[in-house]
Structure 1
Amino acid sequence: MRLAIALLGILLSVTPAMAQVSVGISLPAVSIGISVPAYPQLVRVPGYPVYYAPRLRSNFFFYEGLYWVYQDDDWYASSWYNGPWGRVSREAVPVFILRVPIRYYRNPPSYFRVWRRNAPPRWGEHWGHEWEQHRSGWDRWDRRSVPAPAPLPLYQRSYPGHRYPSAEQQAELHARHYRYQPHDPVVKQHYQEQAGHPGAAPAQQPQQEAPPERGQGRKDGDKGEERGQERK
């Protein structure tokens, strides 16, 4: 139980060969070569339930209550803005993270630069036919019914630099201050595991189209930072 609590920031690793996506905690926590000394500015990606960090020199996003980083051709996730980070299987990355246009990647790899900036990366072309078959439909959705974004965990602003909590403290603080319940199946399973339910059933294959959650998303051009949404 202590190990599960200490690894709150680590997302689930997924075995791609299985018909159902089985989940488990990715061990150990890994260093991904970035350091975020204080809570970053997060700005809504227009038309998406995702935030990005325009002032960081990394591909840093926030979605469904977790921070996401694309680094060295892998995705990582954490419950806190500076980790610890857990590697996420390519077959389990949520569709709205995959859909973010290239222009919102602050440190895009060289192979992104031959693709359109206003479109998402061509993951199927890059990761191959097998991945594309497994995640068929990831780039098709009804733009009129984009789900609302999760509230930002603004309480983490109070924990910069030397005050940054240990992984065990992170679990306690997160449970106390952030009550959002995710809807993405993989993220939801992660929350269940970290809430102390290791026997929960495996998450199903990630949905190709997320259902509307709390109304439609905002119109394009809305880049304001989400404020005052921290749930007590």
Structure 2
Amino acid sequence: MKKRMMMVLGAAGIIFWQAPAHVQAALPLAMATRHDPDVSFDARPDFIYLDDYGFYVAWGVPYDLIFFDDYYFLFRDGYWYRSRGYRGPWGRVRNDDLPMTIRRRSWGDIRQRRDTEYRRHDRGFWDNRFRMDRERWRSRDNRSTPEGRPAPGRDRGFEDRREQRGAPGGEHDFERRDRR
């Protein structure tokens, strides 16, 4: 009898102790989104080598783009992105994971130094330099990423680093002269 009484009380307790009907369970939904920046290039950007900074900076594009250590680094909307090719895909990079060479410079300083370097030479110098780089890369632009060692003259024993200005990759005038 006690058993039956306990079962009846237990069933009644379950029925009367229900949660209020207006309670809703919130399901946490997390949607993963890519953090690729909205960036596109019609052709490979022109780069200027900043010898005192040790990296290349894009010239004539509306993006803050750096080439350093076989990677392209893009600063966009307050975030850093990195890619093997200038067309992407871009992966987000934390500030702490940036190379120290880039991290210790502000964009204001980089832009000012790039503009100063550009003004050191006449327009004909840069037109010729960029034209040669574009011709060299024309066949490579159809591929998703560039080939070869992008930093010209690096680890090749060239004494005068000032001659190494230009776009990443390819063969420059001073390299051709040395091979003859």
Q: TM-score, normalised by structure 2?
A: 0.50
More relative contact order in 1 or in 2 (CA 8 Å, sep 6+)? 1
- Larger Rg belongs to: 2
So what's the TM-score if we normalise by structure 1? 0.40
